Amino acid sequence: MSTMKFCRECNNILYPKEDQEHKQLLYACRNCDHQEVADNYCVYRNEIHHSVGERTQVLQDVAADPTLPRTKTVRCTVCNHGEAVFFQWFHVHFSFLDVWHAMVV
């Protein structure tokens, strides 16, 4: 995980910098000449956590997507509608499985 690093000399933030001669990643201070070799090569990490509302909106929009495959061979057990769209959905707890969902259009 990428964390902020601070200069040991002046306590300013260290920025990633490439040492082209030695092909190394360094962290360098822009205030003084302090540099240190990076022990971790991750300089940025973007973690996106979706709320429940965002996930629900995506599922509602999927039914209107004309690029997804559709079938008329399945009937909904709740409303008896005869058309459904199906798609593959990644689930954190079932990452090793192919989880398929069908939605009534």
Among 3.40.50.360, 3.40.50.1100, 2.20.25.10, 2.40.50.140, what is the CATH number of 52-104? 2.20.25.10
- pLDDT value at 75 more than 70: yes
DSSP string, 56-95: HHHHHHHTT-TTS-EESS---TTT----EEEEEE--GGGT
% of residues, the chain, pLDDT over 90: 30
Q: What CATH number should be reported for the domain whose range is 1-47? A: 2.20.25.10
Chain segment 19-38, per-residue pLDDT in tens:
999 999 999 999 999 999 99
Domains 1-47 and 52-104 share a fold: yes
Per-domain residue ranges of the chain: 1-47, 52-104
In the prediction, which pLDDT does 99 show? 45
- pLDDT value at 88 more than 70: no
Between strands 35-37 and 70-71, the pairing is: unpaired
In the prediction, which pLDDT does 73 show? 83
